Amino acid sequence: MNKYGTGAVVLAAAVLMPVAGHADEVATDFEPPTHSLGTVHGQDGWTSLGSVGSGCAPYDVEVVDASAWEFDNLGDQSLRISNAVTSGCFGDQTFSKAVADEAGEADADAGGLSGGTRQS
């Protein structure tokens, strides 16, 4: 390949290279005092309408005692989600608490479910 062909390949690779985004993140460990055993709905900003029977299907989602499980890195409590019940609904699924600054398209409608400074 001549020097012009090599330059075109390098230029094309630079233009097509994705740009890394900077998004907020939030961690949850499901341990007390932020979480107690039972439904995760309403705990520390989490929602799960289906787990409390207020949705299309009664989903099996809850914070459970994990201290007897054979996984050392789980802690004493964990979020257990079963796929035994499914539905075509979306709004009653389990959603984590929101991050401080939302991410999304500039013209997206958050529907009051997120806030902060919109990040692309």
Q: What DSSP designation does 93 have?
A: S
DSSP secondary structure of 21-64: P----------TTT--SB--TTSTT-EEGGGGT-SSS---EEEE
Rounded mean pLDDT, 60-76? 84
100: phi then psi, degrees, rounded to nearest 5: -65, -45
pLDDT digit string, tens, across residues 36-50: 999 999 999 999 998
Domain assignments of the chain as residue spans, ordered by start: 25-120
pTM: 0.69
User: pLDDT class for 7, splitting at 50, 70, 90?
Assistant: very low
**What's the mean per-residue pLDDT of the chain?**
80
pLDDT digit string, tens, across residues 69-104: 877 777 889 999 999 988 888 889 999 988 888 888
Q: Are strands 94-95 and 77-81 parallel, antiparallel or unpaired?
A: unpaired
Choice between 56 and 5, residue whose per-residue pLDDT is larger: 56
